[in-house]
Structure 1
Amino acid sequence: MPRNPGITDEMIISMYKSGMPFKEMQPIIGLSDRAIRNVLYKHGVKMNREQSSGRPRIHKINENFFKVWSHEMAWVLGLFITDGHINEQTHSVSLSQKDEKILKVVANYMGADYILAPFGKTMTTPTLIINSKEIKKDLEVLGIKSRKSLNVPFPVVPEQYLPSFIRGVIDGDGWVQKSGYVMNVTTASIRFAEGLLSVFHSWALHSTITSTTTNTGNIIYRVWVKGKYVLPKLAKIIYRNAATDNFIPHKRDYMMQRINELPDK
């Protein structure tokens, strides 16, 4: 029985480590129970008796995390809407970040077991896997669905939590110039770009949208914030409710270089 097109060993290991039972893996992968075991054995993956017998492995997770707004939840939502992935075929979601420390903070906030996808040819960035039907459902309610990149909406976020949400968005898909004069967020969704622009304008920040077309014909939008004193003003807003670890340090440092030079108002 040949495996289904596009299914790699790394994907099989990732499914298994996310807690998916063999009976759910088989139709997705296209291999028999025995063939899946052989892939896992080949890579030295320890087998779980309950999981291989068809009962899913139980992972710890606070399944109410995305049901109640908080500054921590809003920041994590910003990360998921930019760097998250909703598995179309299983009840799992994942979050990728170059800085693995951020994933540990997210797992701690969500009360989740810290499970990383295995590295391989197609998986080179640290990726946190969360196996939960409820978390997946709540993210979908908030607008984060599979294949979200082209049409993800700007979610309805309570005003008091918008700064923390925007901080998560910038930590996910934001770029900040080292000199602290320019910042942009990249997205393939015009709906998200326009929502983000609206927030920046409501904060009286100089912000614009530009677009470019990729070689594959997709349009990429960049939402810009520019100005010697505009970025420190943005920093003052989005880091006001930050903890000591829920942000990308270098992005904060670049934006806050001239915060002491802001005129008192």
Structure 2
Amino acid sequence: MKEDLINLHGMSSEKSHTLTFPTIPDKYLSYFVRGYFDGDGCVNYKQRVVSFVGSSLLFQEELKIKLEALKLSPYIKKYSKHWRLFITGTRSIQIFKRWVYENKELYSARKHEEFELEPIKDINQIPERSLKRTKEAIMKRKHQFIELRKTNISNESICEELKISISTYHKWLKEDTEFRQAVNKIHYI
């Protein structure tokens, strides 16, 4: 199996930062993703988070595209030496669980059991997550915050309108220089 991965797909430890997603027929994709998840994935059902870790941004971006085809909204975050792809929300991780464990034969029982902490019979009964956590969605909320702030609405009222916590607003101020500067500029108008 190791030789097939190296010879057929060009995978090796030396290519961990440039590894690309292999070409896999759709009917086997869930098997491949389940294997990757069992090795380099994590599920925390109580926090409604599934994640994958890897050193190759190319691989993570291609996996993201495959998961978006399932109507999921995964996002990728950079850490010091690796990338992490996240799927969040009850509905999303239930969709992921159903897909990745369909036709299950080999799988990590420990990870599968984490999904079973809250068995849900009908995915359609789970509401869509009200706030998307993609980079684009967060940028849109920041822009909306700035536009609302220009109308002299209080920070607390804006947070309530955008359905974010005041601590999220403070986090944006602390971590996003451009956002902080835009908000400070408004105070001086």
TM-score category of the 2 structures, normalised to the smaller one: 0.5 to 0.7
- After superposition, residues 164-179 of structure 1 pair within 5 angstroms as 164-179=31-46
Residue 263 of structure 1 aligns with an amino acid whose one-letter code is N
Query: Gaps spanning 5+ residues in structure 1: where?
Result: 1-65, 67-92, 94-135, 214-218
Residue 20 of structure 2 aligns with an amino acid whose one-letter code is P
Structure 1 residue 198 displacement after superposition:
0.5
Contact 1:193 1:221 survives alignment (8 Å): yes
1:14 is matched with: none
Contact 1:186 1:222 survives alignment (8 Å): yes
Q: TM-score, normalised by structure 1?
A: 0.44
Give the total of aligned pairs.
Answer: 125
Find the partner of 1:189 among 52, 56, 59.
56
Task: Spell out, residue by residue over 1:140-191, the C-alpha distance to the aligned partner (whole angstroms, 9 max, x if none).
Answer: 3212124132111100000111111110010010011042610100001011
1:225 is matched with: 87
1:158 is matched with: 25
Q: Any idea what SS the aligned residue of 1:240 has?
A: coil
Find the partner of 1:263 among 105, 114, 124.
124
Distance, in Å, in 2 between the alignment partners of 1:137 and 1:238 is: 23
Distance, in Å, in 2 between the alignment partners of 1:184 and 1:146 is: 21
Residue 86 of structure 2 aligns with an amino acid whose one-letter code is W
Query: Gaps spanning 5+ residues in structure 2: where?
Result: 126-189
1:18 is matched with: none
Distance, in Å, in 1 between the alignment partners of 2:5 and 2:43 is: 31
1:236 aligns with 2:98: yes
Task: Spell out, residue by residue over 1:99-137, the C-alpha distance to the aligned partner (whole angstroms, 9 max, x if none).
Answer: xxxxxxxxxxxxxxxxxxxxxxxxxxxxxxxxxxxxx25
CA 1:137–1:226 in 2, change beyond 3 Å: closer, same or farther?
closer
CA 1:161–1:180 in 2, change beyond 3 Å: closer, same or farther?
farther
CA 1:162–1:240 in 2, change beyond 3 Å: closer, same or farther?
same
Q: Identity of aligned pairs, percent?
A: 24
Residue 239 of structure 1 aligns with an amino acid whose one-letter code is Y
Distance, in Å, in 1 between the alignment partners of 2:88 and 2:4 is: 37
Q: Any idea what SS the aligned residue of 1:185 has?
A: strand
2:178 is matched with: none
Distance, in Å, in 2 between the alignment partners of 1:231 and 1:204 is: 11
Structure 1 residue 251 displacement after superposition:
1.2
Distance, in Å, in 2 between the alignment partners of 1:205 and 1:255 is: 17
Distance, in Å, in 1 between the alignment partners of 2:4 and 2:94 is: 37
CA 1:201–1:248 in 2, change beyond 3 Å: closer, same or farther?
same
4+ residue segments displaced more than 6 Å: none
1:7 is matched with: none
Task: Spell out, residue by residue over 1:75-121, the C-alpha distance to the aligned partner (whole angstroms, 9 max, x if none).
Answer: xxxxxxxxxxxxxxxxxx5xxxxxxxxxxxxxxxxxxxxxxxxxxxx
1:248 aligns with 2:108: yes
Find the partner of 1:147 among 14, 22, 28.
14
Q: Any idea what SS the aligned residue of 1:210 has?
A: strand
Residue 162 of structure 1 aligns with an amino acid whose one-letter code is L
- After superposition, residues 26-175 of structure 1 pair within 5 angstroms as 93=2, 136=3, 139-175=6-42
Q: Any idea what SS the aligned residue of 2:18 has?
A: coil
Structure 1 residue 212 displacement after superposition:
1.2
Q: Any idea what SS the aligned residue of 1:200 has?
A: helix
More helix by share: 2
1:198 is matched with: 65
Q: Any idea what SS the aligned residue of 1:223 has?
A: strand
